[in-house]
Structure 1
Amino acid sequence: MARQISLDRKELLIAPSLLSADPLEMATSIASLKGQHDWLHVDVMDGHFVPNLSYGPALVKALRKRYPQEILDVHLMVEPPEAFIESFLDSDPDFLTVHVEATAHLHRVLGRIRERGVRPGVVLNPGTPVESLFPVLHMVDVVLVMSVNPGFGGQSFLREVMSKVTDLCRFRAVHNLSFLVEVDGGLGPSNVLEVAQGGADVVVMGSAVFGTEDPGKTLEEIRKKIAGDS
């Protein structure tokens, strides 16, 4: 089913991370957002590329069946991604992002994702130079800049990665590209405005949303902060 996805960068998009949702009450957690989100972010960890295990293609497939109109943003923290992508592509995500550090065959992986009709994305760890992405930026619809070292939720934001966001925005403008710049890790009400003003198009937030008493109200307040209404 075709889903409308905006790449025009007119306003900040918010993608709550289901890694911080209640795994036994996933539907309740999503309902608690009260429609204040734009995408749903699904973190997939293999216990090898990152030191943790999390969701697999069965969850993505179940989400797609239950929420046919949601934008599912699936972030693969797996190595090598080429061993995993087919099962996730069968689950009908909207975005499937893979780490530049996880494969020697990044062009091939991104090309396969596009070939299957899913929007490809590439992810950059905090310690990886942004220049490593330049050869593939023409192939992707989203670049995910990690602002924590991936593997666990609830970490502190690494402000130094914002220079990478600046570089990506500059590269995009110079080369007339249209990928979105997404930032993930340690984001919440205290720093989301800084990240938005720094050039991010999409922000991923986990515990800062699902860890609050009213996630929907939290998102509403964050949107007001971004808009300058509070």
Structure 2
Amino acid sequence: MAPLILSADFARLGAQVREVLAAGALIIHVDVMDGHFVPPITLGPLIAGAIADLVHDAGGAIDVHLMIERPERQVQEFARAGADNITIHVEATAHVHYALARIKEEGVSAGAAVCPATPGPALCEVADDLLDVALCMTVDPGWGAQELIPATLGKLERMRGMLPEHVALEADGGVHRDTAADCVAAGANLLVAGSAVFESDDPGAAYLEVATAAASAQAR
């Protein structure tokens, strides 16, 4: 499971990231928003790089989710800032294959994402040797603390059936202790949780609670 720092207290960002790393998190999810593809604006490569340094020192990885228009223009900056995986949206560029190739040229794992209203095949059709991660938005992108859209569980199942086995299927949005197991049962093997973790008084304990719920589905 990957905690999403969008919901963290940015005045205590380093401390909160350390808390979830100490609790066992191996991946930290970083949302980058440009105010165009989605209305909010978040952070750029300088902040992402500072987070990457902290996470790498603890043996973890950074998963950068570019919710920006024409993401191929920014791939190099985020890769060189320390991203271990960069995910772009198929809705944000007319050149999905080229954008994924740019990511791979930087020596970084490459992902592609679809919004809830975008059919899964739009992503799965580019699932060739360039794609490492397929991200299914389970809420509309841009804001935290939303409830998971139930229909996206069926979409996860269909996408898992279309994707090569080596491609990780990531569920992003509305993931908490009551929905994590459903996402895993639908085929997701990487979950992103933001407000369920960082809006808690104890992010480390909250991370463990959601991760345990996800693990219960894997054990079935």
- TM > 0.5 fold call: yes
Separation (CA, whole Å) in 1 of partners of 2:150 and 2:114: 15
Of 121-130 and 65-74, more deviation after overlay is shown by: 65-74
Task: Call closer, same or farther: CA 1:177–1:225 in 2, change over 3 Å.
Answer: closer
Kindly provide the CA deviation profile for residues 33-53 of structure 1, in whole angstroms up to 9, marking residues without a partner as x.
233222100000000000100
Give 2:192's match in structure 1, choosing from 199, 204, 217. Answer: 204
On the 8 A contact 1:124/1:130 being kept in 2, the answer is yes
Give 2:142's match in structure 1, choosing from 136, 151, 174. Answer: 151
On the 8 A contact 1:184/1:205 being kept in 2, the answer is yes
Residues 1:165 and 2:164 are matched in the alignment: no
Task: Call closer, same or farther: CA 1:25–1:178 in 2, change over 3 Å.
Answer: same
Task: Call closer, same or farther: CA 1:165–1:47 in 2, change over 3 Å.
Answer: same
Give 1:221's match in structure 2, choosing from 182, 191, 209. Answer: 209
Separation (CA, whole Å) in 2 of partners of 1:45 and 1:226: 27
Unpaired stretches in structure 2, ≥5 consecutive residues: none
Residues 1:97 and 2:87 are matched in the alignment: yes
**TM-score normalised by L of structure 1:** 0.88
Q: Residue 154 of structure 1: SS of its match in structure 2?
A: coil
Tell me the equivalent position of 1:78. Answer: 68
RMSD: 1.5
On the 8 A contact 1:20/1:153 being kept in 2, the answer is yes
> How many correspondences in the alignment?
213
Greater helix proportion: 2
Unpaired stretches in structure 1, ≥5 consecutive residues: 1-13
Separation (CA, whole Å) in 1 of partners of 2:55 and 2:214: 27
On the 8 A contact 1:169/1:199 being kept in 2, the answer is yes
Kindly provide the CA deviation profile for residues 167-197 of structure 1, in whole angstroms up to 9, marking residues without a partner as x.
121113xxx4411000011110111111111
**TM-score normalised by L of structure 2:** 0.92
Kindly provide the CA deviation profile for residues 87-111 of structure 1, in whole angstroms up to 9, marking residues without a partner as x.
1121121100000000001111101
Q: Residue 111 of structure 2: SS of its match in structure 1?
A: strand
Q: For residue 217 of structure 1, report the CA deviation from its aligned partner.
A: 1.4
